[in-house]
Structure 1
Amino acid sequence: MRNIEAVIVDLDGTMVDTLGDFDAALNATLSDLGRPGVTRADIERMVGKGSAHLIRSALRHGGLDDAGAAALQTDAWERYQAHYKAINGAHSAVYPGVEQGLQGLRDRGLPLTCLTNKPLAFARALLQAKGLDRYFGLVFGGDSFERTKPDPLPLLKTCEALGTLPAATLMVGDSQNDALAARAAGCPVVLVTYGYNHGEPIASAPHDALVDSLASVPALLA
């Protein structure tokens, strides 16, 4: 990883602990629909593959089959978007070491891009609310490309936007979505040991290094 020319960083579970935001917006949505609520532990297993997947998983968790969840999906999506917009960032916090790590990467002259499965408008608003937007030249969300992580397409498209080869572009994330996408795209990947990985040990996901804090990432590139 000593020839890295740019860094792609995930958002939820990597830079910001947003579980509280998901909890508030998702349970408000389920309440609107008269559906059973979900716990934070449930959400932690469901989150990471975009809002549509999260909503569908929560509806199925409450006892609906695929057809029943699909019937409510449009209404649930609209309600969830409204609830999330109203509370975006209110119940979340930046993880310790994040700004130190981002600044350390910037000090090395590396361009940074945020790539998340969160809808782009919510991602931009959250980064701004937490004072992290100043570190990123580019931000891409789950609706920026035709497919989302763990598909490699978002990473490949981000590398194109950066003008760097995948092999020279580091992915930093918290879950197998980031790991699998990076491997398929040909990007090296560093995973944080906190965050959300569907209830599975993060060490079982493909990785080049594991770190307990984003502050440790710049030293890996020395």
Structure 2
Amino acid sequence: MTYSYVLYDLDGTLLDTNELIISSFEHALGTHTPGAYTREDILPHMGAPLYEQMENFAPGRSEELVATYRRFNIEQHDTLVTAFPHVQDVLRELHEAGVKQAIVTSKMRLTTEMGLKLCGLTRYLDAVVTLDEVENHKPHPEPVLKAMELLGADPKSTLMVGDSPFDIGAGRAAGVATVGVKWSLRGEEGLREHRPDYLVGDMLELRQIILGD
């Protein structure tokens, strides 16, 4: 086994929440700042904490935008969220092999748990670190370090997996190896420039890296 501890971002990494997130942004921005932003304006900010993103779009109005976003997001959640291919099978196999696994996400706990339950992943996880458990958010290392503390993880045996520069930056700052997933909306080249230790095309490739086979 190459890595005994694996930390995953959630949205865009394990769960295909891309359409839900973009639609939620479009709804909130269309409600409060009609005509000001397009889908293309939203994509570069995905992965950052929600309040931070909304403050960028509408300074001083983030509270109302976040409230509108979250209402829509929760209402549409179960209709628009699915797991990416092989996610459940790979997490189950790693769990059975003794790999300790955790979620490190900038989402609030409510919607994090909704997604994990919907896609049948909760049973394979040993820890979940959300927006609600930390003061600083990715790319700050605090969420990664918090997850490692909960797992009792050794940095040399830990892997951080994500779809954004925020995930790669947080993992690097915490002193662990990093993986960028090529199914990110940013695309392979959008992640390569941030120099993750690995880039993977699917969950089966990630499994091979973790188990060393």
Query: Could you state the TM-score of these two structures normalised by the residue count of structure 2?
Result: 0.89
SS of residue in 1 equivalent to 2:207: helix
Counterparts of 1:115 and 1:34, CA distance in 2:
31
Give 1:45's aligned residue: 44
Residue 110 of structure 1 aligns to which amino acid in structure 2? V
- Runs of 5+ in structure 2 lacking a partner? none
What does 1:1-222 align with in structure 2 at a 5 Å threshold? 2=2, 4-36=3-35, 38-57=37-56, 59=57, 69-197=58-186, 201-220=190-209, 221-222=211-212
Change in 2 beyond 3 A, CA 1:177/1:7: same
Counterparts of 1:156 and 1:95, CA distance in 2:
26
- Whether the 8 Å contact between 1:22 and 1:84 is mirrored in structure 2 is yes
User: Cα distance, 1:38 vs. partner?
Assistant: 4.2
**What is the aligned-residue RMSD (CA, Å)?**
2.1
- Whether the 8 Å contact between 2:141 and 2:170 is mirrored in structure 1 is yes
Counterparts of 2:161 and 2:48, CA distance in 1:
16
- Runs of 5+ in structure 1 lacking a partner? 60-68
User: Cα distance, 1:147 vs. partner?
Assistant: 0.7
Query: Could you state the TM-score of these two structures normalised by the residue count of structure 1?
Result: 0.86
Counterparts of 2:74 and 2:62, CA distance in 1:
18
Counterparts of 1:168 and 1:152, CA distance in 2:
16
Which range moves more in the overlay, 212-221 or 86-95? 86-95
Number of aligned residue pairs: 211
User: Cα distance, 1:17 vs. partner?
Assistant: 1.6
Counterparts of 1:203 and 1:80, CA distance in 2:
30
Counterparts of 1:184 and 1:122, CA distance in 2:
26
Counterparts of 1:157 and 1:216, CA distance in 2:
27
Counterparts of 2:94 and 2:42, CA distance in 1:
31
